[in-house]
Structure 1
Amino acid sequence: MTVLNEPSSCSRREARKRDRQEMILEVAQRYFLDHGYAGTTMSGIAAALGGSKGTLWSHFPSKDALFAAVLDRVARAYRARLSQILDPDAGLEEVLLGACISLVGKVTSPEAIALQRLVISEGGRFPELSRIFFELAPRNTRALLAEFLEGAMRRGALRAADPLEAARALTALCMAGLHHQLLMGQISHVEPENIERDAAFAVDLFLRGYAPAPGSSM
């Protein structure tokens, strides 16, 4: 009987551990955004959690590791949504428009703007901060887009080119409007129709730049 109960007991322990980590990440995310990277300490987060610093360290060995986990949690959830949008069997323009609406909506959210401002303001003093952010957010998003674009290039729906460079161009177009205005404090919020406008503009320019050559097989 003891042997039969071990898997269930282990599963419960793992579930409690995951729940605890999720709670830590939620509190840590708010703490980083409220206090900045330099102003955040493991002791401060432990106090906000109402637990001991030792308990926090048992889950995350350093502030860098905790910040990376916070970013990975946010980025992983977004990549899951984007993966569902990037359907290779659907129409190219329709998929790109959906992906760009999703991307513009994500990068213009209050949470994303606050996080990017944190990285920009403190990245010079903490190079590791910028490295963690780039590897877990922009780089992974571009890689996901590049994989989809490479498939479209193979099918002849887009001209042959470096898919990573194409993904970089598409994301840059998405971030050139509302995102920059928000980041610089020129506007304080965005409306859904403006997100759709920015996305449509980005897709239109992208497809003009990567259209197949006349007479190429589709």
Structure 2
Amino acid sequence: MHGSEPPGRREARKADRRRAIVDVAERSFLERGFAKTSMSAIATELGGSKTTLWSYFPSKDDLFAAVLDQKIAVFQNALDGALIPTEGTAAALTRFGRLFLAKVLSSSSAGLQRLIMAEAERFPNLGEAFATRGPERVRARLSRYMAEEMAAGRLRQGDAERAARQFLSLCQAGCYLDRLWRHARPIPSEASIDADVTDAVDTFMRAWGPDAK
């Protein structure tokens, strides 16, 4: 019986159940869109009741936020590892850029971004949740790195957030836009990603390197 379970096992079972709910919800959001995804349908697919589902997530908005949080958590840890101060600023930004582009070019991430753009006008909370949990978290992490590099003299002094915004935009100036709008195209190759990141880092360092004016 669940009531006699050790607390650790009970918490692990709840965590597993929560992950299963989020996985089903992500698939449903991507396949049906936000408007056509219902809590009832998710509960049916999971084989449980709406009451059980609501005990984990009080609303569809909360469930969508959990999907975003799950997607960004592992990604943020990887980005932290990329921004280690070894081999110089250009090397760190290259590692970061490759991870960033590979993530936003993946099928699930590209599909999620299309979903947000299609439904954010009808569901403003959707766009707000995506912005605060995805792009803003990534930009904030990169901004902290830029500020550290400026303080160390490895980048010229300036607005660290502006520098972060510009680098992210440079990374997305090539194959990312084709991937976002042209659904039928395959995921860009590593060579295409590397070329875009190399161009982004080169352009960025010309503007923000320690000798830039």
Query: Normalization by structure 2: what TM-score?
Result: 0.94
Equivalent of 2:117, from 117, 120, 125?
120
* Partner of residue 213, structure 1: 211
User: Following TM superposition, by how much is the alpha carbon of 1:89 offset from its aligned partner in structure 2, in angstroms?
Assistant: 3.9
Equivalent of 1:153, from 150, 167, 173?
150
Distance in 1 (alpha carbons) for counterparts of 2:8 and 2:107: 36
Task: Show CA shifts across 1:122-154 (max 9, x none).
Answer: 011111000000000000000111111111101
Give secondary structure in 2 for the equivalent of 1:125: coil
User: Following TM superposition, by how much is the alpha carbon of 1:181 offset from its aligned partner in structure 2, in angstroms?
Assistant: 0.6
Give secondary structure in 2 for the equivalent of 1:176: coil
Task: Show CA shifts across 1:33-71 (max 9, x none).
Answer: 001001111111111111111111000010000000000
Distance in 1 (alpha carbons) for counterparts of 2:29 and 2:62: 13
Contact 1:86 1:99 in 2 (8 A): yes
Contact 2:79 2:96 in 1 (8 A): yes
User: Following TM superposition, by how much is the alpha carbon of 1:213 offset from its aligned partner in structure 2, in angstroms?
Assistant: 3.3
Residues 1:87 and 2:84 aligned together:
yes
Contact 2:86 2:92 in 1 (8 A): no
Contact 1:100 1:174 in 2 (8 A): yes
Give secondary structure in 2 for the equivalent of 1:156: coil
RMSD between aligned residues: 1.7
User: Following TM superposition, by how much is the alpha carbon of 1:88 offset from its aligned partner in structure 2, in angstroms?
Assistant: 2.2
* Partner of residue 196, structure 1: 194
User: Following TM superposition, by how much is the alpha carbon of 1:176 offset from its aligned partner in structure 2, in angstroms?
Assistant: 1.5
Distance in 1 (alpha carbons) for counterparts of 2:184 and 2:97: 20
Pick which of 10-19 and 88-97 moved more. Answer: 88-97
Residues 1:109 and 2:130 aligned together:
no
Aligned-pair identity in percent equals 41
Distance in 1 (alpha carbons) for counterparts of 2:100 and 2:173: 12
* Partner of residue 136, structure 2: 139
Contact 2:24 2:42 in 1 (8 A): yes
Give secondary structure in 1 for the equivalent of 2:34: coil
* Partner of residue 177, structure 2: 180
Give secondary structure in 2 for the equivalent of 1:87: coil
User: Following TM superposition, by how much is the alpha carbon of 1:167 offset from its aligned partner in structure 2, in angstroms?
Assistant: 0.7
Distance in 2 (alpha carbons) for counterparts of 1:40 and 1:152: 44
User: Following TM superposition, by how much is the alpha carbon of 1:164 offset from its aligned partner in structure 2, in angstroms?
Assistant: 1.1
Task: Check 1:182–1:152 CA distance in 2 against 1; reply closer, same or farther (3 A cut).
Answer: same
Contact 1:170 1:206 in 2 (8 A): yes
* Partner of residue 35, structure 2: 38
Letter aligned with residue 181 of structure 1: D
* Partner of residue 163, structure 1: 160
Letter aligned with residue 198 of structure 1: D
Residues 1:15 and 2:12 aligned together:
yes
Give secondary structure in 1 for the equivalent of 2:28: helix
Letter aligned with residue 161 of structure 1: G
User: Following TM superposition, by how much is the alpha carbon of 1:187 offset from its aligned partner in structure 2, in angstroms?
Assistant: 6.2
Distance in 1 (alpha carbons) for counterparts of 2:184 and 2:156: 36
Structure 1 stretches of 5 or more lacking a match? 1-5
Give secondary structure in 2 for the equivalent of 1:171: helix
Give secondary structure in 1 for the equivalent of 2:6: helix
Equivalent of 1:56, from 48, 53, 56?
53
* Partner of residue 3, structure 1: none
